[in-house]
Structure 1
């Protein structure tokens, strides 16, 4: 459009007003809003400008909807959701994102078993009850932002998510995966999500890389047979950075940085993660293994943590070729936990190994012992004698490690010598148990001979 110059003679009263009015009339008109959309959509549709959802909308099977860059989608009420059975394309740009300006508690986008992948680029959601709910759907999200939602993204029934870029901030839960869903998540920021940045349960698979998890309640909360890789992420200032429960084997945690978390990694109840080449720095607890958890912890750095590695209730991980540097407590064991600690470098720790007041094989029960003892007491015959069922180990073995400047101190002690870097039965003699079915007995001792005479060359992250 060519706008011609207007020549205004100052001698004519009010002429400048007429000229301004003429100029405004020549400008292009604003794109009108699409108002009152509700009901079923069939065929092909394109939204742009401003769109008002006056009621629930169904994009039916075989239909398609494209939402153009810069579109503002408003909802009249929380129930004015968009259900998708066809194909949705949200095509915002960095300069002109698609904004879903919806009321608090909006029911969001509901993808119900669509056959084709759905694409959302540069979209913004805020204040939704559930911004996106994907059931058996394949979603590609690029640079999508979720703020202040109760639940940002829910995926279940073998849904597949590919999330690249974007941000989940100030939500109660960022991503919730269930029932064998899969998520590939790269370069995403998860910040200040109150309950969890990501929840996964029920056989889901994850590949999460190059993301930031900061200030969340739990960054990753994983329950029951979760597999995949957690690689090259930053976990900073979370209450629980990675919480794994009943995981089994199949999760690789590698090349991540954990700093300032209350618990960086909690491995609970038969979890067996592979934890390799990570850096745990200044956390309250770096790794806590509990209740029959094992796994492998190799080539990690534990530096400046209050507790580097806590093992409780028969947690027996393999701990090898790590560096434990300047931690208040490097390794803590309690309730008959016997980790395999070999070829690690320890130096500058306030306490290298500390045993809890329940760390005694003599006072610990085999699995199911309480149930068997009760059955024996209530049924015919004498109650079983558990101490005769298997040989009991009364020491935590940390031999074949390098102890840095403390090596000379250890060399000056005989087998019964009390080293200040170990807390065991020499420091507190008896198990403090209030369990009627526990036999009681002395706390274990720390066996540190033989030690290595030189540091392990390839210990720590590679």
Structure 2
């Protein structure tokens, strides 16, 4: 059915559209979608500033194979009035690049989805969607100065899609503000993420960077799972998140010049998660860096100040910790009860890890990189300890210090399933220490 113009010129009456557009079209004023609309190849639909598009049914979508240009302005946005579960605007291998400028969407299943599409979005609000923007495959997206609020997911990138996300806000998502998987990539710069269940979730490698954003009041700020040496995470401010940054299962991104302030756990490395952590500030967190299950991050030239616990290690985690400033942390280093090279040497966990992976039919080749040699010492020598340096000098290199928890405090441990057999906990080695603070530690910006 071709597009039909019924009446125009009265606020009470509106243009009605449904079917295939046979030629270029301009929508303006009040528009009703009485059926799905298809924009075929070679055809452009333009929607003028101030237009209201009222969608009659959830399955009345706009299918774009040509071009769509939504041209709202700050003063006169284009408003989509849609029923719950609206299927939205679908770009299917469209012509060239489409634009959505200063539009307003609220309450749909998916507002925008794309397959092999190029799309620019600017100044647009997406509210209360199951998924606001879904890049199914091979899409290129640029989002600037837009708002994603409520619902489940803001932007989902799949199958080698890429997105450049700039100066936008993401708030109150029940699943994740941004999710990337299946070889997608991109950059996230200058955005604010607040009160999300998860702000950014990366499943697999994410070549690109996450820079100069603010993460506050999220349950998880950034979640990396098998992201290898990606992304670069730099210049961000993480504040009052339950878990600010999680590096799981062979994720070892570069984390530099960030500020982690008043988070429950600032950084959690787990299951061979071993980030490179350089020139960051960790202040007033519950735990600054939590290492679990053979996670060995590099921590260099960071400032750890006024944290309840600066560094936690368990399940055979041996970070490299050099040239950091540790200042007035309630507990500096704590070893969990499974931090035991004695257990690894006598019983070993590698076999169990491989066996469990085999039972789960895991084909992750990275498991072959799992470490199989362990020291009985967590080495934190070569760091500055502030006013506590004088206490170290008093007790000497082998002394027992209240702000280190190791085998001095818990010499032997037992494990469920291992009967009465006892294993020796590892020790914290803190000597030699630095006699002066590291001058260039921290993010080198005013806090």
- Is TM > 0.5 for Structure 1 vs Structure 2? yes
The 2-side partners of 1:108 and 1:391 are apart by 54
Q: What is the correspondence of 1:235-246 to structure 2 with a 5 Å cutoff?
A: 235-246=215-226
TM-score in terms of structure 2 length:
0.91
Aligned to 1:166: 146
Report Cα offsets for 1:75-118 as digits up to 9, x if no partner. 11101110100000000000100000011111100000113111
Query: Which 5+ residue runs of structure 2 have no aligned equivalent?
Result: 1-7, 357-370
Aligned residue for 1:363, secondary structure, equals: helix
Is 1:348 the equivalent of 2:364? Answer: no
Aligned to 2:18: 38
2:301 to 321, 325, 333: 321
The 1-side partners of 2:196 and 2:273 are apart by 25
The 2-side partners of 1:259 and 1:373 are apart by 39
The 2-side partners of 1:446 and 1:314 are apart by 16
Aligned to 1:80: 60
Is 1:58 the equivalent of 2:55? Answer: no
Is 1:119 the equivalent of 2:99? Answer: yes
1:339 to 271, 295, 319: 319
Moved more, 412-421 or 38-47: 412-421
Aligned to 2:414: 432
TM-score in terms of structure 1 length:
0.88
| 4+ residue segments displaced more than 6 Å | 371-374
Is the contact made by 1:331 and 1:354 (CA closer than 8 Å) also made in structure 2?
Answer: yes
Aligned to 1:8: none
Structure 1 residues 89 and 372: alpha-carbon distance in aligned structure 2, compared to 1, 3 A threshold: closer
2:200 to 191, 210, 220: 220
Is the contact made by 1:147 and 1:170 (CA closer than 8 Å) also made in structure 2?
Answer: yes
Report Cα offsets for 1:158-178 as digits up to 9, x if no partner. 101100001001121101111
Structure 1 residues 268 and 137: alpha-carbon distance in aligned structure 2, compared to 1, 3 A threshold: same
Query: Which 5+ residue runs of structure 1 have no aligned equivalent?
Result: 1-27, 375-388
Shift of 1:32: 7.1
Q: Who wins on radius of gyration, i.e. which is larger?
A: 1
Report Cα offsets for 1:140-164 as digits up to 9, x if no partner. 0000100111110000211011000
Aligned to 1:101: 81
Shift of 1:363: 1.4
Is the contact made by 1:42 and 1:64 (CA closer than 8 Å) also made in structure 2?
Answer: no
Is 1:204 the equivalent of 2:151? Answer: no
Aligned residues: 421
Aligned to 1:288: 268
2:113 to 111, 133, 138: 133
Aligned to 1:381: none
Report Cα offsets for 1:200-226 as digits up to 9, x if no partner. 111111211110000000000111111
Aligned to 2:277: 297
Q: What is the correspondence of 1:439-454 to structure 2 with a 5 Å cutoff?
A: 441-454=423-436
Is the contact made by 2:269 and 2:275 (CA closer than 8 Å) also made in structure 1?
Answer: no
Aligned to 1:233: 213
Q: What is the correspondence of 1:244-393 to structure 2 with a 5 Å cutoff?
A: 244-364=224-344, 368-370=350-352, 392-393=374-375
RMSD of aligned alpha carbons? 2.0
Aligned residue for 1:407, secondary structure, equals: helix
Aligned to 2:392: 410
Aligned to 1:190: 170
Aligned residue for 1:272, secondary structure, equals: coil
The 2-side partners of 1:425 and 1:352 are apart by 15
2:48 to 68, 78, 99: 68
The 2-side partners of 1:392 and 1:63 are apart by 65
Shift of 1:393: 0.8
Is the contact made by 2:230 and 2:251 (CA closer than 8 Å) also made in structure 1?
Answer: no
